[in-house]
């Protein structure tokens, strides 16, 4: 009653009026109906007048004319029903929007409030906001992890479903990263905070959610395309009915059945249900406008690094100088030794390529050796001394003290290490293909190359075909890489157009050219250099799985998952929300026009017309809520649905 006094009060007074009419007190019943029209209609009329004074055309104009006409002609019952219908429609809209935002609100409400830390061998609780970088936080089973960091002690399954939409838990061991907002399922974890609580991934997600909720959905944006024409047609219908019948009651009946609640309700409920559905699939959409525009995009533009590729170099091959003379078994043995030695030195570096080499060694379960006499020229290479403990037959050829150097050509020349022509040629060839090749030298002799490259996402081949099935007519790749690398990724992803060696400002230029041609452009990127292009597109979508940066701030939507096929899910949800919103608009207008025809011939009285319009409202609301069905995306990009 406190939240929705006008519709509930109107309904109660209508019931009292009905019982008075049954008791023969028609005079009291009439006064009660007049009370509803006056006290309920005046605020609605005043609100509409203020909107129109601000230059905002209001579709409520028809309802206001109907309320005014009911007062003038003494049709208080019809007027009371219109007040109930209009105020009830607005209350149903608020309820539906609150229901649609349930997932977004739940995300913010479950933000971690406290954390456990050790203090003098005693576990104490502190506010989550008090966590700073370097703190060691204890997370108990079943608790939400309050900060981003690396596991120092403990092993457990961790659910990241609320962050990324991935349903399966991830088994975490010491050294692995965990994200705030994920749930520790099994056992106690000790996590070293890498960020403060306010800078954590979950805090940034909550901030994005709050932005999404603060930006009001374009409630009349879509409806406005039809509301002016519908209003003019309604008033003409009413005037013609009055002119031919010579009775203003016919005009009032037309206005009553044309009261445009369906037109008002169809868009916001469908769009906010779309925002809710997107949130359940790891897609934060910042506004209703973004969902609506996702439903209209026909060009999809992608960045390469970190978007169509993983964005992190990985070791893909080991090349040995004398590999032609080695047997398969010897070659494998030497590759593992070379990787273990290189990783043993690289583990002391923080460079991204060093991390890739260490990760490759750990994936092969190679035991790393502590290195001494470490030196690094950042961005060029590293050198260190490693003492190998190798027994048996291998001792003579592999054991002992080894000076290991890993780096580029200038680093090797700085160390006065001669580079074999065969390895130099191979490195040049690999570089042309977009790969990175680091030389490896043992005791001053270059013996091989470690080849690294930015690996394409495994599901990439299904991206463009899946988008085409959703109605995207053209896909574009914009990248700063060379033509060879760009074409390789473009072919793998089945991209229609590839633009290589593209600077950030050139990306913006390409997107604006499409916009000038009246194309609706979706831009997907992940880096700071993508921010201008994301802001220039019709809809900008950022991959925020690796951290919500400038790209996420400039984008209209953020993917919380590493799965690029979630872009297809986002487009599908936008298409669905827009399609169902339009269905509601056409359904509401169509049924209203049919009812207007009957009312113009006197077949529908004003009071009956008001009840009939209430039924149309219910149909439109139920239709709009159909947006809230689950959407599952398979590995091949196909969409499947089931009702929740």
CA 41 to chain centre: 41
Closest CA to 541 of 283, 295, 278: 283
Active-site annotation holder among 60, 276, 303, 556: 303
Residue 205 has pLDDT above 80, yes or no: no
Q: For 272-290, write each residue's pLDDT tens digit.
A: 788 888 888 888 887 777 8
- pLDDT of 311 higher than 80: no
Residue range 591-603: average pLDDT? Answer: 84
Q: What percent of the chain shows pLDDT beyond 70?
A: 81
Question: Domain 111-203, what architecture?
Answer: Distorted Sandwich (2.70)
Which has more pLDDT, 567 or 59?
567
pLDDT digits (tens, 9 = 90+) for 378-406: 778 999 999 876 543 343 344 567 899 99
Q: What is the pLDDT of residues 460-501, one digit of tens each?
A: 889 999 999 999 999 999 987 778 888 888 999 999 999 988
Q: Is 27 a catalytic residue?
A: no
Residue 57's pLDDT is 57
123-132, 549-558, 596-605, range with the lowest pLDDT: 549-558
Q: Are 283 and 559 in contact (CB under 8 A)?
A: yes
Average pLDDT over residues 23-36: 83
pLDDT (average), residues 425-436: 84
Cβ contacts of 466-470, under 8 Å, gap ≥ 24: 466/565, 466/568, 466/636, 466/637, 466/638, 467/300, 467/567, 467/568, 467/571, 467/637, 469/637, 469/638, 470/568, 470/571, 470/572, 470/575, 470/639
Helix (H) or strand (E) holding 523, with range, is strand 521-525
The strand order across the sheet containing 136-139 reads: 122-127, 114-119, 136-139, 189-193, 149-153, 177-178
144 DSSP 8-state letter: B
Residues in the chain: 644
The pLDDT tens digits of the residues spanning 173-185 come to 888 888 888 888 8
Under 8 Å CB-to-CB from 501, ≥6 apart: which residues?
479, 480, 481, 482, 483
Beta strands 445-456 and 309-320 are antiparallel
191/277: higher pLDDT:
191
Amino acid 633: pLDDT = 46
Q: Is 626's pLDDT higher than 70?
A: yes
pTM of the complete model: 0.68
**Per-residue confidence band for 333, with pLDDT thresholds at 50, 70 and 90:** confident
Which of 16-25, 38-47, 361-370, 461-470 shows the lowest per-residue confidence on average (mean pLDDT)? 38-47
For residue 86, pLDDT beyond 80:
no
Q: What is the mean pLDDT of residues 147-155?
A: 89
Tell me the CATH number for domain 280-310+457-573: 3.40.50.1000
For the chain, the domains span: 111-203, 280-310+457-573, 312-455
As a whole number, the mean pLDDT across the chain is 79
Please tell me the least confidently modeled range out of 210-214, 227-231, 293-297.
Answer: 210-214
* Distance separating alpha carbons of residues 336 and 361, to the nearest angstrom: 8
Give the residue-averaged pLDDT of 78-102: 66
CATH class of 312-455: alpha beta
pLDDT digits (tens, 9 = 90+) for 120-148: 778 888 888 888 888 899 999 888 888 88
């Amino acid at each position: 009653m406190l939240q929705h006094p006008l519709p509930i009060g109107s309904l109660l007074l209508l019931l009292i009026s009905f019982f008075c009419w049954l008791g023969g007190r028609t005079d009291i019943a009439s006064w009660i109906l007049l009370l509803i029209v006056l006290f309920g209609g005046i605020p609605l009329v005043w609100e509409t007048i203020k909107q129109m004074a601000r230059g905002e055309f209001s579709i409520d104009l028809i309802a206001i004319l109907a309320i005014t006409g009911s007062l003038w002609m003494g049709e208080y019952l019809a007027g009371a029903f219109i007040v109930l219908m209009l105020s009830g429609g607005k209350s149903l809209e608020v309820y539906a929007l609150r229901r649609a935002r349930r997932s977004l609100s739940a995300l913010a409400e479950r933000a971690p409030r406290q954390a456990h830390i050790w203090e003098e061998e005693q576990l104490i609780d502190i506010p989550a906001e008090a966590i700073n970088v370097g703190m060691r936080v204890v997370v108990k089973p079943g608790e939400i992890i309050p900060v981003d960091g690396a596991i120092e002690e403990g092993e457990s399954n961790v659910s990241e479903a609320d962050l990324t939409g991935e349903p399966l838990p991830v088994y975490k061991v010491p050294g692995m990263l965990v994200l705030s907002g994920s749930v520790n399922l099994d056992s106690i974890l000790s996590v070293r905070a890498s960020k403060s609580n306010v800078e954590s991934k979950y805090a940034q997600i909550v901030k994005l959610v709050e932005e999404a909720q603060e930006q009001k959905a374009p409630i009349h944006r879509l409806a406005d395309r039809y509301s002016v024409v519908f209003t003019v047609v309604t008033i003409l219908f009413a005037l013609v009915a009055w002119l031919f019948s010579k009775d203003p009651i016919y005009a009032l009946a037309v206005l009553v059945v044309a009261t445009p609640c369906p037109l008002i309700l169809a868009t916001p409920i469908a769009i906010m249900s779309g925002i809710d559905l997107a949130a359940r699939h790891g897609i934060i959409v910042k506004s209703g406008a973004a969902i609506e525009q996702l439903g209209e995009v026909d060009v999809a533009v992608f960045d390469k690094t970190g978007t169509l590729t993983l964005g992190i170099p990985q070791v893909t091959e080991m090349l040995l100088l004398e590999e032609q003379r080695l047997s398969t078994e010897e070659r494998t043995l030497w590759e593992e030794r070379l990787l273990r030695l290189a990783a043993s030195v690289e583990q002391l570096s923080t460079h991204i390529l060093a991390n890739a080499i260490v990760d490759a060694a750990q994936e092969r379960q190679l035991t790393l050796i502590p290195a001494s006499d470490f030196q690094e020229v950042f961005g060029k290479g590293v050198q260190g001394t490693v003492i190998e403990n190798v027994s048996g037959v291998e001792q003579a050829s592999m054991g002992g003290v080894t000076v290991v150097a890993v780096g580029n050509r200038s680093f090797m020349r700085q160390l006065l290490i001669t580079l074999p022509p065969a390895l130099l040629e191979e490195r040049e060839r690999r570089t042309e293909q977009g790969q990175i090749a680091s030389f490896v030298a043992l005791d001053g002799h270059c013996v091989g190359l470690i080849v690294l490259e930015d690996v394409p996402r495994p599901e990439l081949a299904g991206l463009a075909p899946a988008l085409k099935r959703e109605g995207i007519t053209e896909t574009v790749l914009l990248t700063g890489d060379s033509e060879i690398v760009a074409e390789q990724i473009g072919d793998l992803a089945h991209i229609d157009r590839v633009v290589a060696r593209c600077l950030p400002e050139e990306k913006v230029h390409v997107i604006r050219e499409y916009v000038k041609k009246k194309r609706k452009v979706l831009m997907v990127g992940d880096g700071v250099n993508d921010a201008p292009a994301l802001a220039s597109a019709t809809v900008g979508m950022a991959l925020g799985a690796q951290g919500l940066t400038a790209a996420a701030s400039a984008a209209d939507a953020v993917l919380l998952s590493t799965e690029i096929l979630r872009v297809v899910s986002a487009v599908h949800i936008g298409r669905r929300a827009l399609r169902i919103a339009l269905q509601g608009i056409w359904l509401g207008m169509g049924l209203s026009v049919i009812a207007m025809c009957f009312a113009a011939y006197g077949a529908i009285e004003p009071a009956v017309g008001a009840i009939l319009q209430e039924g149309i409202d219910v149909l439109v609301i139920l239709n709009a809520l159909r947006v809230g069905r689950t959407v599952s995306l398979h590995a091949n990009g196909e969409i499947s649905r089931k009702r929740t």
